[in-house]
Chain A
């Protein structure tokens, strides 16, 4: 497998399988998928409900374990890591943006942003912090609690949290799923900028063609397999491919 460990991949899975149940009840959520996520790239994963797109993301991000195959973050084989080592790896190398319940309600925006760093007992780089906060436009909202922020502002805090620790890779699971179109566009452009300006790697699971069109590469999943791939996608080209998949 040593040839698989190439430095231009931020994360990759080889022969990844996730199987629930057995015998007649067997469900193959992931059916031997091999895919890599290039460093500094913005990859979107699309597919109908039950296609395995969330499972792929969760296994690649170290949130869930594969039934078979291997998964790498950077050059670390995460399938060989124990519970604690995997948690620490997520803390230090992976950023997350979820659809909802992204923030801790008792902490301020600022405290939420530095949460993973605080867990590790590290101090954020002040200049970088200021830069990230400025980019997502939260400078005047840092002392607010999540309940005092709009949905869009809450997701911006989540984006800032993912960016501030400069992780190896950011996984975003339907980050715009609960937002109106204006807020969605904002969040997507922040992620796009992060890739373009800071060389950040982002992997996003979405079912929204508009959201996916912000990515540089779109993977299409169906029945636990990668069935198609599209580079430099547009909204129309994505819709076109989706029609072909019979969705």
Chain B
């Protein structure tokens, strides 16, 4: 029977190409995602390993046991820790890392590379990831080393003078040497500018001594050295072994891949799920078409098991071939994607594609498994073929149109609607929602043929307006309601999710942005990842049209309970004037005089979630909080004020500069809130942009930027998810092409007859196109309907009625058009085939 299976594969090759195409697409998406993320991960982690290969120990900053604060405040290792480490026995070399944006400017003031980084030059050549190719290390405050990449791009060599822009402003430096990173030209994507350690503190850290981490090279017994270090160093820092440090760094460098990979895989599996429908459908039709042939095999003595096995073998063979082709398609897709992104100047780390054994094995298993599972039901049906059916004239697949199925489908559909409506109107219950959604899916699959038939009854009068071709198309579309439903369901899945994501995403976005924009906020926020130079703060204050500013130093402090919390040094009075912050209890003067701290009131953001007993978050006016200082003591501070503000002006627990310094040490200003004269905001914004020129990493943003960012994040997420869901829509399109082609093959005698009776080729083509569009329309309406229903219910239950489902009709209309377009595109090939049919040949076939 295997040789029969192979022969029939060859005989039905064109018909099975469509089946294979669904697998190829699904596996292709899966494989490309895996290959890309593999390449990216090895690119990123490989660099990190190279960068820190000679590090024996590293000193890192800690904020106590709990670091789940959320906002990513850069913790620093104090300069004293470096000095302590250097004097510890067994430490051969120690170097602090400092890193910030820095740019090389050309003579005309333009930037050589926007993504270049400034670093402190590590004197110890083994710890230094960079090696000196030419010249000498940077010395003093007027020398830099450029890496090969930047030097080449800027066209400079050793001895030249270049303008370098840093967070501290623009200065002239002499190029003392050229560096490289291993065999590569650059360590950082955009190139590296290295300063001497003292200069790095000045220009990259606004004069505040401190490092992102300290790298150590040691000799002797590692355990002894580690113990000595732990003994000597303060508790605000921790010691890590080199391996630990590298693996943490590699993990954080490739952290986004750990998120990206499952997301990409999730969408690929979804398109494989859709592909399963297409495969199932195609095989069902192929079995129906070969009914007589299969019956003949049974008549001449083939057992049901043999018939079954041969079909399953056929499915597996397609699975193997198509999965292999899918892996190749995936590699092509991944390379294509990289090239495409490069066109838009988006370099993704890791060049080329990485084909791992894991990827190949996984893709083969998934592809073969899905194909085999999809053909099992059609294969069993084929096995049940009765020998006598070889003698019958026609073979029409009437399964699945049973009244029992229709009744069950209707029960599930009505049940789900009832549960979902109950959730909306009776009261939010996860029971209603979960079972409502579950029943909806079951109902759509069982009730698919029923929905198809109801759909046909509804569209028939409308299609009748297009004349006989329209009416026939409506009838033909549901000749086999089960097949039509399965075909449409492939589209339903994709469009259901697109609608759900778009409609509920839009609703959440609108609600969130409205909420964020409701509180009063500063006119502008000037912020830096590193530091804002004191001179710059003064220039901002002097800028024409600026009425008030509040300069804020921020840090993470550790409470005596071990919990971390945000602290800031700023004047509450200035914050009130420039950021619209309101002191709701206590007094600003008490904070300014150093008698206590001010804590934020989060009640209008539903902020209770942050609290834990005895911590700042649960404190109120008159309570006291206990913070651990850099010196290692506990400092009790009474709460003397409570303030409210917008999310943008959130600065944490406010204290005066002296208290701040005691708690967390000296820190640079990282944020400046600006209030402009009324009506002058635009002009002031432009002036501020000008003032900031020459300072890297310092940005001016409108005061309510979080709302805008949240809005654009939502837009991006909705667009990205929809782009990924487009894969499943493409697979569904292939399914419609398949079903239509096979239906036409089945009906060729009938098509010959209507041509004889006087239907023109154009009319035949129109009829087929109408039919495909109707299947597309069915899938679109059902998918969108289910998506809108579920979005409406989910949104209202999350927000407890607070969010209205504000329809973006333009988007909903767009999804509808996409659905119709799928039908139109899918009809092209089948319509061509139908019109080219030879009338007499078609009619004379027995």
Residues of A at under 8 Å CB distance from B? 58, 63-64, 83-84, 87-88, 90-92, 94, 96, 98, 101-102, 104-107, 115-116, 118-121
The answer to whether A107 touches B760 (Cβ under 8 A) is no
Q: Which residues of A contact B763 (CB under 8 A)?
A: 119
**Per-position binary interface string of chain B over residues 745-781, scored 1 when its CB falls under 8 Å from any chain A CB and 0 otherwise:** 0000110011111111111000000000000000000
- Closest chain B residue, CB of each to CB of A58: B840
How far is the CB of A64 from the nearest CB of chain B, in Å?
6
- Closest chain A residue, CB of each to CB of B762: A84
Q: A101-B749, A106-B479 are in contact. Are A90 and B472 (CB under 8 A)?
A: no
Q: Which residues of B contact A106 (CB under 8 A)?
A: 472, 475-476, 479
**B742 near A: Cβ within 8 Å?**
no
How far is the CB of B745 from the nearest CB of chain A, in Å?
15
Q: Which residues of A contact B757 (CB under 8 A)?
A: 90-91, 96, 115-116, 119
Q: Which residues of A contact B750 (CB under 8 A)?
A: 101, 104-105
- Closest chain A residue, CB of each to CB of B467: A121
> 22 A–B contact pairs at CB < 8 A?
A58-B840, A83-B761, A84-B762, A87-B755, A90-B756, A90-B758, A91-B757, A91-B759, A92-B758, A101-B749, A104-B753, A104-B754, A105-B479, A106-B472, A106-B476, A107-B475, A115-B757, A119-B467, A119-B757, A119-B758, A119-B759, A119-B763
Q: Which residues of A contact B468 (CB under 8 A)?
A: 115, 118-119
A92 to B750 Cα, complex, angstroms: 19
A107 to B762 Cα, complex, angstroms: 21
How far is the CB of A70 from the nearest CB of chain B, in Å?
20
Q: Which residues of A contact B467 (CB under 8 A)?
A: 118-119, 121
Secondary structure of the B contact surface, majority rule: helix
- Closest chain B residue, CB of each to CB of A111: B471
Q: Which residues of A contact B755 (CB under 8 A)?
A: 87
The answer to whether A84 touches B840 (Cβ under 8 A) is no
How far is the CB of B837 from the nearest CB of chain A, in Å?
13
Q: Which residues of B contact A115 (CB under 8 A)?
A: 468, 754, 757
A107 to B468 Cα, complex, angstroms: 10
Q: Which residues of B contact A105 (CB under 8 A)?
A: 479, 750
How far is the CB of A50 from the nearest CB of chain B, in Å?
14
**B299 near A: Cβ within 8 Å?**
no
How far is the CB of A246 from the nearest CB of chain B, in Å?
27
The answer to whether A87 touches B475 (Cβ under 8 A) is no
Q: Which residues of A contact B753 (CB under 8 A)?
A: 98, 101-102, 104
**B843 near A: Cβ within 8 Å?**
yes
How far is the CB of B546 from the nearest CB of chain A, in Å?
76
A-B pair number, CB within 8 angstroms: 61
Residues of B at under 8 Å CB distance from A? 467-468, 472, 475-476, 479, 749-750, 753-763, 839-840, 843
The answer to whether A91 touches B843 (Cβ under 8 A) is no
How far is the CB of A75 from the nearest CB of chain B, in Å?
19
- Closest chain A residue, CB of each to CB of B478: A106
Q: Which residues of B contact A107 (CB under 8 A)?
A: 472, 475
How far is the CB of A234 from the nearest CB of chain B, in Å?
32
Q: A63-B840, A87-B755, A98-B843 are in contact. Are A104 and B472 (CB under 8 A)?
A: yes
A178 to B479 Cα, complex, angstroms: 25
The answer to whether B758 touches A116 (Cβ under 8 A) is yes
The answer to whether B758 touches A63 (Cβ under 8 A) is no
Q: Which residues of B contact A94 (CB under 8 A)?
A: 758
The answer to whether B759 touches A87 (Cβ under 8 A) is yes
How far is the CB of A97 from the nearest CB of chain B, in Å?
11
Q: Which residues of B contact A96 (CB under 8 A)?
A: 756-757
The answer to whether A120 touches B758 (Cβ under 8 A) is yes
A105 to B475 Cα, complex, angstroms: 9
A98 to B476 Cα, complex, angstroms: 22
Q: Which residues of B contact A58 (CB under 8 A)?
A: 840
17 new A-B contacts at CB < 8 Å, known A101-B843, A119-B758:
A63-B756, A87-B755, A87-B761, A88-B760, A90-B757, A90-B758, A91-B757, A91-B759, A105-B479, A106-B472, A106-B479, A115-B754, A115-B757, A118-B468, A119-B757, A119-B763, A120-B758
How far is the CB of A176 from the nearest CB of chain B, in Å?
17
The answer to whether A64 touches B760 (Cβ under 8 A) is no
A98 to B755 Cα, complex, angstroms: 13
The answer to whether A84 touches B475 (Cβ under 8 A) is no
A83 to B758 Cα, complex, angstroms: 11
- Closest chain B residue, CB of each to CB of A55: B840
A123 to B843 Cα, complex, angstroms: 28
The answer to whether B754 touches A87 (Cβ under 8 A) is no
Q: Which residues of B contact A92 (CB under 8 A)?
A: 758
- Closest chain B residue, CB of each to CB of A99: B843
How far is the CB of B79 from the nearest CB of chain A, in Å?
86
Q: Sorted from nearest, which 7 A-B pairs have the closest CB atoms?
A: A91-B758, A106-B475, A118-B468, A90-B758, A87-B760, A101-B749, A119-B468
Q: Which residues of A contact B762 (CB under 8 A)?
A: 84
A96 to B476 Cα, complex, angstroms: 23
A84 to B760 Cα, complex, angstroms: 6
Q: Which residues of A contact B754 (CB under 8 A)?
A: 104, 115
Q: Which residues of A contact B840 (CB under 8 A)?
A: 58, 63-64
Q: Which residues of B contact A121 (CB under 8 A)?
A: 467
Q: Which residues of B contact A91 (CB under 8 A)?
A: 757-759
The answer to whether B758 touches A88 (Cβ under 8 A) is yes
How far is the CB of B452 from the nearest CB of chain A, in Å?
14
A78 to B313 Cα, complex, angstroms: 53
- Closest chain A residue, CB of each to CB of B476: A106
A153 to B106 Cα, complex, angstroms: 93
A119 to B758 Cα, complex, angstroms: 8
A202 to B475 Cα, complex, angstroms: 32
- Closest chain B residue, CB of each to CB of A147: B396
Q: Which residues of B contact A116 (CB under 8 A)?
A: 757-758
How far is the CB of B540 from the nearest CB of chain A, in Å?
77
A121 to B467 Cα, complex, angstroms: 7
How far is the CB of B318 from the nearest CB of chain A, in Å?
32
- Closest chain B residue, CB of each to CB of A162: B757
How far is the CB of B404 from the nearest CB of chain A, in Å?
21
A119 to B762 Cα, complex, angstroms: 12
A116 to B479 Cα, complex, angstroms: 21
Q: Which residues of B contact A83 (CB under 8 A)?
A: 761
Interface centre among A63, A106, A107, A115 (most CB of B within 10 A): A106
A217 to B72 Cα, complex, angstroms: 100
How far is the CB of B115 from the nearest CB of chain A, in Å?
64
Interface centre among A102, A115, A120 (most CB of B within 10 A): A115
How far is the CB of A136 from the nearest CB of chain B, in Å?
18
A92 to B753 Cα, complex, angstroms: 15
How far is the CB of B818 from the nearest CB of chain A, in Å?
29
- Closest chain A residue, CB of each to CB of B396: A105
A104 to B840 Cα, complex, angstroms: 17
A83 to B476 Cα, complex, angstroms: 25
A92 to B472 Cα, complex, angstroms: 20
A59 to B172 Cα, complex, angstroms: 95
The answer to whether B839 touches A63 (Cβ under 8 A) is yes
How far is the CB of A105 from the nearest CB of chain B, in Å?
8
Q: Which residues of B contact A104 (CB under 8 A)?
A: 472, 750, 753-754
- Closest chain B residue, CB of each to CB of A112: B757
Q: Which residues of A contact B761 (CB under 8 A)?
A: 83-84, 87
A157 to B475 Cα, complex, angstroms: 20
Q: Which residues of B contact A87 (CB under 8 A)?
A: 755, 758-761
A102 to B762 Cα, complex, angstroms: 21
- Closest chain B residue, CB of each to CB of A90: B758
A83 to B753 Cα, complex, angstroms: 16
A40 to B789 Cα, complex, angstroms: 65
Q: Which residues of A contact B476 (CB under 8 A)?
A: 106
Interface centre among A84, A88, A91, A94 (most CB of B within 10 A): A91
How far is the CB of A147 from the nearest CB of chain B, in Å?
10
- Closest chain A residue, CB of each to CB of B760: A87
A104 to B476 Cα, complex, angstroms: 10
A217 to B754 Cα, complex, angstroms: 29
Q: Which residues of A contact B759 (CB under 8 A)?
A: 87, 91, 119
How far is the CB of A114 from the nearest CB of chain B, in Å?
9
How far is the CB of B461 from the nearest CB of chain A, in Å?
14
Q: Which residues of B contact A102 (CB under 8 A)?
A: 753
